[in-house]
Structure formats: C-alpha cells, structure tokens
C-alpha cells in the first residue's frame, strides 16, 4: 500500500508524538501492515494497544505524517517533479526559530515520487530528532 508510511518511520513518528487515529497498523511481530476493521476505526488507536495479545503500531498515511510535521513543528515540505530529467526532488522549509537551517533542499533526483516522499519523511524525522 503506497498510502502508508513504512514500519520503521511509523515507529519513529510514534516516538515523536504522533498520536492520531489511522486506517492501518503494523503488527510488531512481523511488521506486516494490517487495516483496522470498522469497529476499530473509531477507537483510540494510538500506540501499543493490546489487541489479540499482540502489540501494534499505527500506520499513518503520508499526508497525515506531513501534516503532523507541518502543524507541530512548522516543517513544511513539497515534492517537485523535474520532468526535464524525469526525476523528483523535495524541499523542507520552516520559520521555526528552533531550527538553525530554515530550508533544506534535496535535489539529488529520485526516480519516483514515492522514493522522494520516503526520503523526505526520513529527513523530517532526523531534523526533529536532532533539534
């Protein structure tokens, strides 16, 4: 499913305070993505809910993850296509005085939008963790 952040980033987001309802979760035993059934969608599906004797980690959508950084850390991102060379690149910008660098550009050129999206998310996590 392209819509969800990967397992490792989902765990890190949880550590950074992401705490919203999600449409999916990872079973920590095997890292497999599962979708919440209807009766769980409205539950408080934060983190480490006990469910059938296994722990799980909620899986944010990419749009949820990027909104989390935008609204909680003033880290705003955009992913641009450079169709001249058929590559994707991303930019992170902030006005947050807690961050020394106000703009980070990664123009290394990713082959797909999804690769750029993942790289951007990893960078956002790194920025906040090292703040």
Figure out which of the listed residues 91, 118, 119, 122 binds other proteins, where binding follows CB under 8 A: 91
Rule CB under 8 A: is residue 80 a binding residue for other proteins? yes
Number of residues that bind other proteins (CB under 8 A): 25
Rule CB under 8 A: is residue 27 a binding residue for other proteins? no
Q: Which residues contact 121 (CB under 8 A, 6 or more apart)?
A: 5, 9, 62, 65, 66
Q: Segment contacting other proteins (CB under 8 A): 5-13, 46-54, 55-63, 123-131?
A: 55-63
Residue 105 to residue 92: CA distance in whole angstroms: 6
Q: Segment contacting other proteins (CB under 8 A): 11-19, 25-33, 49-57, 58-66?
A: 58-66
Residue 88 to residue 86: CA distance in whole angstroms: 7
Rule CB under 8 A: is residue 101 a binding residue for other proteins? no
SS (H, E, C) 74-111: CEEEEEEEECCCCEEEEEEEECCCCCCCCEEEEEEEEC
In the complex, the residues that contact other proteins under the rule CB under 8 A are 2-3, 21, 23, 35, 38, 41, 61-64, 67, 70, 76, 78-81, 83-84, 91, 93, 95, 103, 113
């Amino acid at each position: 499913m392209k819509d969800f952040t990967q397992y490792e980033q989902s765990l890190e987001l949880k550590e950074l305070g992401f705490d919203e309802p999600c449409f999916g979760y990872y079973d920590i035993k095997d890292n497999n993505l599962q979708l919440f059934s209807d009766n769980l969608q409205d539950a408080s599906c934060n983190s480490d809910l006990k469910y059938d004797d296994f722990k799980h980690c909620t899986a944010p959508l990419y749009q949820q993850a990027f909104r989390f950084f935008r609204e909680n850390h003033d880290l705003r991102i955009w992913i641009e296509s450079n169709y001249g060379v058929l590559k994707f690149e991303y930019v992170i910008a902030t006005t947050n005085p807690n961050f020394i660098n106000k703009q980070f550009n990664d123009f290394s050129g990713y082959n797909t939008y999804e690769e750029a999206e993942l790289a951007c998310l990893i960078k956002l996590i790194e920025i906040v963790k090292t703040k």
